[in-house]
Each structure stands twice: as C-alpha cells, then as structure tokens.
Amino acid sequence: MDNNLERFKEKLSKETFGLTVKEAKHLAICVNCKKPALPRCYSIAGVKEYSISGLCEKCFDSITA
C-alpha cells in the first residue's frame, strides 16, 4: 500500500477508534468493539477484511449494513 495512504488509514483509525489498525492487529482485537477479532470473523472474506481495516466481520457487517 502507498505510504501516504497507509499513514492516512492509521491516522483515521486512531481518530475514529482510539487505536491504529496496526495496534489492533498486534493485540488481535477489533478496532471497533475491542473484542478478540478472529473468533468474530466467520468467513475468509471477514478474515481478509480484518487484515485490511482492523474490523472484525461482525462490526464490519454492522457498519456497512
């Protein structure tokens, strides 16, 4: 990912959720609900989304529904 885009994503995540995607992934939690992320991902697409946005699949689905 472009460094400027990555910095923007991390800054936006920190401002919105209180932690960066990198921090959430290091802790293995969702940036939104702060619960363990992978148990809340029920598909391959959900796991991939978590790796991109730091959102567990349940939170991603509720935000995009």
List, as one string, the DSSP characters of 9-33.
HHHHHHHHHSS-HHHHHHHTB-TTT
| pLDDT at residue 1 in the model | 61
Single-letter code of the amino acid located at 2: D
| pLDDT at residue 65 in the model | 84
> Where in the chain are the domains?
3-64
Check: CB of residue 61 under 8 Å from CB of residue 49: no
| pLDDT at residue 34 in the model | 98
Query: How confident is the model over 16-23, as a mean pLDDT?
Result: 96
| pLDDT at residue 2 in the model | 84
Query: How confident is the model over 15-43, as a mean pLDDT?
Result: 97
Q: What phi and psi, each to the nearest 5 degrees, are found at residue 29? A: -120, 165
Tokens of 10: 């991390």
